[in-house]
Amino acid sequence: MSDSQDILVPDIGDFDSVDVIEVLVSPGDTVDVESPLITLESDKATMDVPSPVAGTVTEVRIAVGDQVSQGSLVAVVTAAESTLEDAPATAATPQAQAEDGDNSKENEGESQGGDKKEPDRATETPAKIDTQLPSDPDSPAPKAEHPTPPLAPRPPPSLPPGSESDSGPLPHASPAIRRFARELGADLAKISGSGSHGRILKEDVTQFIKAALSQGVRDGQDGSGLPTIPEVDFSKWGPVATEPLSRIKRISGRHLQRAWLNVPHVTHHDEADITELEAFRKTLQSDRASEGIRITLLGFVIKVLASAMKAFPSLNASLTPDGEHLVLKQYFHVGVAVDTENGLVVPVLRDVDRKGILELATELSALSARAREGKLKPDEMQGGCISISSLGGIGGIGFTPIVNAPEVAILGVSRAQTKPRWDGAAFAPRLMLPLDLSYDHRVIDGAEAARISAFIAAALEDPRRLLL
| 36: CATH | 2.40.50.100
Q: Is residue 424, in this structure, part of any structural domain at all?
A: yes
- Count structural domains, the chain: 2
Domain final residue, candidates 83, 118, 147: 83
Among 265, 268, 333, 441, the one annotated catalytic: 441
Distance of alpha carbon 55 from alpha carbon 136, whole angstroms: 37
% helix, strand, coil for the chain, step of 5: 30, 20, 50
Is the distance from CB of 33 to CB of 5 less than 8 angstroms? no
Over residues 287-293, the mean pLDDT reads 84
Reply yes or no on whether the pLDDT at 181 is more than 80. Answer: yes
Strands in 73-79's sheet, in edge-to-edge order, are 3-8, 73-79, 55-60, 30-31
Q: Between 308 and 182, name the one with better pLDDT.
A: 308
pLDDT band for position 67 (cuts 50, 70, 90): confident
Instruction: Give whichever of 49-53, 293-297, 333-337 has the largest mean pLDDT.
Output: 333-337
Over residues 141-160, the mean pLDDT reads 43
pLDDT band for position 43 (cuts 50, 70, 90): low
* pLDDT-above-90 percentage for the chain: 38
Domain final residue, candidates 83, 98, 133: 83
Please report the pLDDT score of residue 76 as a whole number: 92
Please report the pLDDT score of residue 153 as a whole number: 43
Q: Is residue 115, in this structure, part of any structural domain at all?
A: no
Q: Is 453 helix (H, G, I), strand (E, B) or coil?
A: helix
Please report the pLDDT score of residue 225 as a whole number: 61
Q: Is residue 447, in this structure, part of any structural domain at all?
A: yes
Over residues 6-32, the mean pLDDT reads 84
pLDDT digits (tens, 9 = 90+) for 420-440: 999 889 999 999 999 999 999
Q: Is residue 350, in this structure, part of any structural domain at all?
A: yes
Phi, psi of 311 (to 5 degrees): -75, -30
Of 69-83, 118-132, 249-263, the one with minimum mean pLDDT is: 118-132
User: Which domain does 58 fall in, by range?
Assistant: 3-83
pLDDT band for position 395 (cuts 50, 70, 90): confident
Judge whether 197 counts as a catalytic residue: no
Reply yes or no on whether the pLDDT at 42 is more than 80. Answer: no
Instruction: Give whichever of 8-12, 15-19, 259-263 has the largest mean pLDDT.
Output: 259-263
Q: Is residue 315, in this structure, part of any structural domain at all?
A: yes
Cα separation values, 220 from 227, 262, 413, Å: 6, 21, 39
Average pLDDT over the chain, rounded to whole?
79
Q: Is 21 helix (H, G, I), strand (E, B) or coil?
A: strand
Strands in 67-68's sheet, in edge-to-edge order, are 46-50, 36-41, 18-23, 67-68
pLDDT band for position 271 (cuts 50, 70, 90): very high
Q: Between 306 and 221, name the one with better pLDDT.
A: 306
Distance of alpha carbon 5 from alpha carbon 79, whole angstroms: 7
Q: Which positions ≥6 away from 198 have C-beta within 8 Å? A: 172, 192
Please report the pLDDT score of residue 192 as a whole number: 84
Reply yes or no on whether the pLDDT at 145 is more than 90. Answer: no
Of 66-75, 121-130, 376-385, the one with minimum mean pLDDT is: 121-130
Of 88-102, 400-414, 444-458, the one with minimum mean pLDDT is: 88-102
Please report the pLDDT score of residue 2 as a whole number: 57
Q: Is residue 354, in this structure, part of any structural domain at all?
A: yes
Is the distance from CB of 15 to CB of 378 less than 8 angstroms? yes
Please report the pLDDT score of residue 158 as a whole number: 37
Domain final residue, candidates 24, 51, 83: 83
Distance of alpha carbon 47 from alpha carbon 37, whole angstroms: 11
H or E element that contains 460: helix 446-461
CATH number at residue 362: 3.30.559.10
Over residues 74-80, the mean pLDDT reads 87
Over residues 31-45, the mean pLDDT reads 80
Peptide bond into 406 cis (omega under 30): yes
Of 149-153, 217-221, 461-465, the one with minimum mean pLDDT is: 149-153
Please report the pLDDT score of residue 97 as a whole number: 41
Q: Between 376 and 466, name the one with better pLDDT.
A: 376
pLDDT digits (tens, 9 = 90+) for 206-247: 888 888 776 655 555 554 566 777 889 999 999 999 988 888
Q: Is residue 171, in this structure, part of any structural domain at all?
A: no
Over residues 311-338, the mean pLDDT reads 94
Q: Is residue 88, in this structure, part of any structural domain at all?
A: no
